[in-house]
Structure formats: structure tokens, C-alpha cells
Amino acid sequence: MSQSIRPVTVIRGFTKNTPGSVLYRCGETVVLCTVSLEEKVPDWMSGRGKGWITAEYNMLPGSTPQRKSRERSGKVDGRTTEIQRLIGRSFRAIADLEKLGERSLTIDCDVLQADGGTRTAAITGGMIALIDAVNSVFRGAPANIYPLRDSVAAISVGIVDGKPSLDLDYLRDVRADVDMNVVMTGKNKFVEIQGTGEEATFDESELDSLLALAKQGIAQLHAEQQKALGEDWPWK
């Protein structure tokens, strides 16, 4: 049950106005991930000596065949809210906010083209941009100071035509009886598992198969992240 992920392309420094900026492509899904850094935290965190990491996610109007309306302030739909909370949780899971100090990092993930797996692409590409942003302050810092404990990546898996399938594009996603998004760290720890049956159920053995397949795919994504960052990868 060994499968390969869709082809990955990473362009770092895609825009110049933020310390972290990555154009991330997996198959036909394309996401622009930018990371902004501020030397302050939200008012509700002020004075705690800790930093904050949050995320925003949007699908741009031309990202789908039928134009998607822009989401204006205060009119964000439930799917968008759920995804950006997932992205923020994923990055906070591998961060030491006390070592970050009273700084805020905001990861903006804008889907330019959608062909399945946009939330997982946002997490995997966003991690590369996040490391670049953190390195702009902590480059070369020893492990006891560096504010990221690990990396994180995510992938989709599902049961399509009765068989486990890895890294679902849109056509396979809409046919899937079971759809699952898995987020894992570079040290093979789970951050989040989102799995549902679509007019179907799945048993324990199928769950085990999907998780094993996700682990294989995420290992490939971690290798792509390290390749993209090269000497800037913080864990030697």
C-alpha cells in the first residue's frame, strides 16, 4: 500500500514584503502562504511574556471553475473558520510561545487554484514560510532558544472505489466514501485527525490503513520541506 504524493513545487520568497513567503503547489492545487511578524501580541495576551501564532485562510475568486465570492470582514463562512483554526492549531502545536517572546506571527494562506487538499497544502507550505519568518529573528539560535520544537505537515487520504488512496485531488475527493485529513509532526506525532464517512462507514482496519498511508505521504512532504529550505532547515 505504498503510494506517492502529487508533484510538489515550492517557490520561497515569492513576495518581498513579509519575512516568510512561499508559493506552494501540489498537483493542480496552488496556495500562496505569507507570514507576517509583529513585535507585539494581541491585547488579551499582553504582559504574559508569550507570543502568538494565528492563521487566516481564503479561497480567491478564480480558484474554482465557478467564481467564488470574496469573503468580507464579518462574513466568513463556517468552512473557512474551521480551516483557519486548524491551520493555527497545527503551528501552535510545534511552537514554544514563551521562547517566541511577545511577538505575533500571522500565516495567511490564499488559495489561488483549488484541486483538492487546499487545507493540507496550506499547512505544509505555510510551515516553510513560518520557518523563514522565524529565522529572520532566530537564525542560528541554539535549540534552547529557538521557538519551534518541530515541523508539521498535512495530507489527505480516503477510501476511493473501495481502496485506500493518498493525497486526493478533487475528482477522487468527490468519489471518496471516506475522507480524512491528517496533520503530523516531523517526529511522527499526530496533531489532528479529521475523518468522516460520506454515506458510508469505516472499520478499525480501514482506519489503520488510512493512517499508515498518511504517515507515508507526510514523510514525503517533510522531505520536500527540508529540500526547499536547504541550509535554512533549523534541525540538523
> Nearest CA to 119 among 143, 158, 157, 86?
86
pTM of the full predicted structure? Answer: 0.95
* Per-residue pLDDT at 236: 78
Burial class of residue 167 in the structure, from the number of CB atoms within 10 Å of its CB (0-12 exposed, 13-18 middle, 19+ buried): buried
User: What pLDDT, in 10s, does the model give residues 178-220?
Assistant: 999 999 999 999 999 999 998 899 999 999 999 999 999 999 9
Domains and CATH numbers, the chain: 8-232 (3.30.230.70)
* Per-residue pLDDT at 73: 65
Q: Report phi then psi at 156, rounded to 5.
A: -105, 145
Burial class of residue 33 in the structure, from the number of CB atoms within 10 Å of its CB (0-12 exposed, 13-18 middle, 19+ buried): buried
Max intra-chain CA distance, the chain: 54
**Residue 215 CA, distance from chain mean position:** 15
What are the CA-CA distances from residue 62 to residues 32, 50, 58, 69, 185 (Å)? 14, 38, 12, 9, 32
* Per-residue pLDDT at 174: 92
What does the pLDDT profile of the chain (236 residues) look like in tens digits? 558 899 999 999 999 999 999 999 999 999 999 999 999 999 898 889 999 999 999 999 989 888 988 877 666 778 899 999 999 999 999 999 999 999 999 999 999 999 999 999 999 999 999 999 999 999 989 989 999 999 999 999 999 999 999 999 999 999 999 999 999 999 999 999 999 998 899 999 999 999 999 999 999 999 999 999 999 999 97
CA distance 53 to 57: 14
* Per-residue pLDDT at 68: 86
* Per-residue pLDDT at 69: 85
The residue type of 35 is V
